[in-house]
Amino acid sequence: MIKVGIVGGTGYTGVELLRLLATHSDVELTAITSRKEDGMPVSEMFPSLRGRVDIAFSSPDKARLTECDVVFFATPHGVAMAQAAELLAAGVKVIDLAADFRLQDIASFEKWYKMPHGCPDLLKEAAYGLVELNRDAIRSAKIVGNPGCYPTTMQLGFAPLLKAGVIDAGHLIADCKSGVSGAGRKAEVATLFSEAGDNFKAYGVSGHRHSPETLERLSLLTKEKVGLIFTPHLTPMIRGMHSTLYARLTKEIDNAALQKLFEDAYANEPFVDVMPFGSHPETRSTRASNMLRIALHRPTENGTAGDTVIVLVVQDNLVKGASGQAVQCMNLMFGLSETTGLLHVPVLP
């Protein structure tokens, strides 16, 4: 059994890890940390886990994290890099759901996250945790930086087109929407029910910290310079993410060939569903699952196919966009089938 510790078990990604790992056939939940809730049974805070998780929260100084096989950090940025060295020295693998090990460009990290990087030497060893595009590196990694939710949709949506060299990489557009849970489980006026409900707004329009992460990874897929306009939006729902991606085609290619690019790219991917051309994937079709769904569109101009391709991507921002992706990485790192514990059918209605 894989002994698992979770640092920061009281936020949305933390409880989502607990939900997924509670029924994982190869996992033993060993430690869940929280300073404030030290000694409180996990099921007292999260009744949904009654009968599934029977351990209590423990303060970080009491949790025996070095006795674990892997530790997930479901914490704010900066926490994992302060503790990673000690855990790695003890032979513990680390998966960080924050941004500490996502960006290889330290200057970019420090600019966007407003803090110095605490362990640049370990950053060089970290694997970026988007399995579909970085499987081999994750399999042999001791430390993984789990991708951001928006970057997951943008990378998987643009990747087949960039690899095939059929679009203008310098002028990519991503119009993305997320449920309120993406903002985390904290008290903020903007995420109160009466503020976020019955409302829709853009944010981070002048610049969002998921942009440099996405640009860094997309640049590995093409020799062209990548340019990206990315606008995130907050939607009045709890879970779900919908990204509408736009790119200009630079080569003659028909719709069937475009579809084949995606079907071939993701033919053996258990958590990427390429829907029929012209489909309209819905966020509820992925709710509470690790599935990501993609559909292609090609607007017509004067009755003929134009030079713009539109890629629709949906996922659950807390599962494939965060905790489910982290468990997928863990499975690879320990030689398990990456689908282990992740074959949940989406919840509908």
Give the active site residues: 149
Helix axes 210-218, 149-164, angle to 10 degrees: 30
Q: CA 228 from chain center: how many Å?
A: 19
Please list the residues that pair with 5 across neighbouring strands: 31, 71
CA 26/CA 20 separation, integer angstroms: 12
Query: φ, ψ for residue 123 (rounded to 5)?
Result: -60, -35
Where do the H-state alpha helices sit in 249-345? Answer: 255-265, 324-333
Contact 172, 247 (CB under 8 A): yes
CA 245/CA 157 separation, integer angstroms: 7
Rg (the chain; Cα; Å): 20
CA 24/CA 324 separation, integer angstroms: 12
CA 145/CA 106 separation, integer angstroms: 14
Residues for the chain: how many in total?
A: 349
